[in-house]
Amino acid sequence: MNKWMMTAAGLLFLTTGVHVFLGGPEIHVPIQESDLHPAVRAVGAVVWHAVTVMLLVFGAGCAWLSRNPNAPLAWLMIATQLGFVGLFVAYGMALLGNLTVMPQWIIFGLISAVIAMGIRADNTPARRAATA
């Protein structure tokens, strides 16, 4: 079993919990209770829950990758999460002038690094021999 991938899975499931139970009341609920147009609130709800789905799927994907090495899938997950990093950094700086209000870039960067370590671990001669 690839412990790096299991660690990434755990971090993703933890991030899902933070997203739902802390972010929901702070971000999602106020948007839904606002006077924004119903279509804007509906899109906000879809995007909010789509992120929840992605976090869960990525967590399950990393758990699967812990026993089934697949570098292209792992790199796709890294690329998506680095995209999240870029969005949080760009919008944090452009709209808020800092990176502390939306620190989510930190966890997505960390998870990307842990997955990369998992890819590296899968490429060791011992691991390749064990999965051959």
d(CA 8, CA 115): 6
Q: Return averaged pLDDT per consecutive 10 residues of the chain, 132 residues in all.
A: 98 98 96 97 98 98 97 98 98 98 97 98 72 60
DSSP secondary structure letter of residue 37 = -
DSSP secondary structure letter of residue 1 = -
End-to-end CA distance of the chain: 14
> Using one digit for the tens of pLDDT, what is the confidence trace for 42-69?
999 999 999 999 999 999 999 999 999 9
Place of tokens 């989510």: 104
- For residues 1, 105, 15, 117, the Cα torsion angle rounded to the nearest 10 degrees is 10
